[in-house]
Structure 1
Amino acid sequence: MKKKEVLVIIPAYNEQDTIMNVLDQLEKPEIAEIADVLVMNDASSDATNWIVKARGHALVSHVFNLGYGSGLQLGYKYAIRKGYQYVIQMDADGQHDVCNIPVIYERLKQKDEDGRYPDIVLGSRFLDGSSPFHVSRAKKTAFHLFRFMMKTATGRTLADPTTGLQGLSRKAVLYYSKYNHFDDKYPDVNMIIQMILLQFKVVEIPAVMHARETGVSMHSGWKPVWYMFRMFFSVLAVIFRCKVLKIDEGAGLKGDLKEEQEKKISKEQTV
């Protein structure tokens, strides 16, 4: 059997009402033939753990609730050790339609005019071609703030810098998997700004998403206010780390430069 290149990582916390349908969709032939599934169960107190086990997918269960970011980062480490070339992360609540997976996969393998492949492909809710998606006034305020901060820090404007639907190259996954390279609580626009400043190639494409029908979002109630406050200072810390301290400067180019050097040496040897 040919080894699959893609690992779909799904962080899950008390998602018994939705994850079965998500797995149903992921098990369709057009998805199953290109991707394996890893569910990161963050100490759920419901039946999430048992549902995934019964379906036979890879599963990691935390003993204690460690947070969304910790689940993703452990998933990245799993992907590197298992030799996957790409990771696509999506939510367990059914908001991210699985039809986006082949599209993101193809975009990750598509070289741009500058000769580089994307390191991060963002599935956007707000591009032409995206499905209609309603967001609250509080979230709209947060989006405007984060777009402004991103534009100021990087010169880039992204339609949906907080999307959780993302495809990552092995180079980006390897970077994220290392100590102190990833926010273990709320990896969001702060991580996208970091990766742009480190010169990883970040692109976005239209995505199909749905409103959450059951369960409780991690951004419900007053949580968006705390989230926006925390994210504001996290973004400032990322900017200071990358632009002032210049930690890991140019990390996003290292793999590309190595590839160019190998091609140059091969060409010289041929001549």
Structure 2
Amino acid sequence: MPSGTMQRVLVVVPAWNEERSLPAVLDEIRTHLPGVDVLVVNDGSSDRTSAVARAAGVPVLDLPFNLGVGGAMRAGFRYAVEERYDAVVQVDADGQHDPADVTRIVERLEEHDVVIGARFAGTGEYDVGGPRRWAMQVLAGVLSRLAGTRLTDTTSGFRAAGPRAVRLFAVHYPAEYLGDTVESLVIAIRSGLSVGQIGVSMRERTAGRPSQRPLRAALYLLRACLALVLSLARRRTPLGPPEAGIA
């Protein structure tokens, strides 16, 4: 990697208070993806996340306050457009995403504009139960119909965006809760982009605390379905010509 038409690939690592897990994640990226550029987007962390990334020699975008994964990734997509990258891959800073899978995900960009690293596609043993699992199944069913292909893990943040998707997401990537996963796929599909997936193994976070606390997990089903309804109700996002700039 890079291969084919994907000549310049940027790995974007959104990070919020991940000083403990981030060094190992960056080491893994270097090991499995030598020569691939990395950008850490420090999402308003109150710990040493930014300092840890800089100490590792990785460029950092420091956001003034916490915007969530969607806001951090939109900043990463804008950076990618400005620096003329062909593709962007999201690798989370908590250690759940295995950088060893990035090459396979990027290779699928030869066939699709957006490729999801899917937990429930016959690879690995990652499991989710209760309301979260029900919500994931509902979302996967609806988005599969929209995309015209089977998608099993539409809330996965482990994904890659090709040139057309990078330009679209630099302007329209949603920052709301679940918007960075669910709504971003709706935006891509309704803009005429192709979405596919590839099975990956995911791991438990290596440090820190998950953003999904028990109360939040209990509300997941309602919020996920609401996010889908709202995204479908919004107007279709036009995809401008390749030379279009960022508004």
Corresponding residue for residue 151 of structure 2: 158
Match of 1:170 in 2: 163
Paired residues, number = 236
Deviation at 1:212, TM superposition (A): 1.9
Identity fraction in percent: 30
Greater Rg by CA: 1
Is 2:237 the counterpart of 1:248?
yes
Partner of 1:25: 28
Residue 22 of structure 1 and its aligned partner are, at CA, apart by 0.3
The answer for the alignment partner of 2:8 in structure 1 is 5
In 1, the alpha carbon distance for the partners of 2:203 and 2:94 equals 10
Alignment partner, residue 101 of structure 2: 100
- Cα deviation for residue 133 of structure 1 reads 0.7
**1:140 correspondence with 2:133:** yes
The C-alpha deviation readout for 1:18-63, integer Å capped at 9, x for no partner, is: 11100111122x4022x11100111111121111010110101122
Contact between 1:22 and 1:92, CA under 8 Å: does it hold in 2? Answer: yes
* Alpha carbons of structure 1 residues 67 and 248: separation in structure 2 relative to 1, 3 Å: closer
Any residues of structure 2 matched to 1:1-271 within 5 Å, and which?
A: 5-28=8-31, 30-33=32-35, 35-108=36-109, 110=110, 117-128=111-122, 130-151=123-144, 153-178=146-171, 181-186=172-177, 187-242=180-235, 247-248=236-237, 251=239
- Structure 2 gaps of 5+ residues are 243-247
1:219-256 CA-partner distances (Å, limit 9, x unpaired) = 222123444433322221221224xxxx336x49x76x
On the 8 A contact 1:13/1:44 being kept in 2, the answer is: yes
Q: Please give the TM-score of this superposition, normalised by the length of structure 2.
A: 0.87
Structure 1 stretches of at least 4 aligned residues deviating more than 3 Å after TM superposition:
151-157, 225-228
Q: What TM-score, normalized to structure 1?
A: 0.80
Q: Give the Å deviation of 1:147.
A: 2.2
Q: Deviations over 1:154-196 (max 9, x none)?
A: 5543111111000101210110111xx2211331122212322
CA contact (8 A) 1:153 1:239 kept: no
Matched-pair contact (CA < 8 Å) for 2:131–2:220 = no
Cα distance per residue 1:45-97 (max 9 Å; x no partner):
11211110101101011221122111100110000000110100011000000
Structure scoring higher RCO (CA < 8 A, sep ≥ 6) equals: 2
Answer yes or no: is the 8 Å Cα contact 2:117–2:200 preserved in 1.
yes
CA RMSD of aligned residues (A): 2.3
CA distance in 2, matches of 1:155, 1:7: 28
Amino acid at match of 2:30: E
Write the deviation string for residues 91-132 of structure 1: whole angstroms up to 9, x where unpaired.
100000010111112221x3xxxxxx310011011112x111
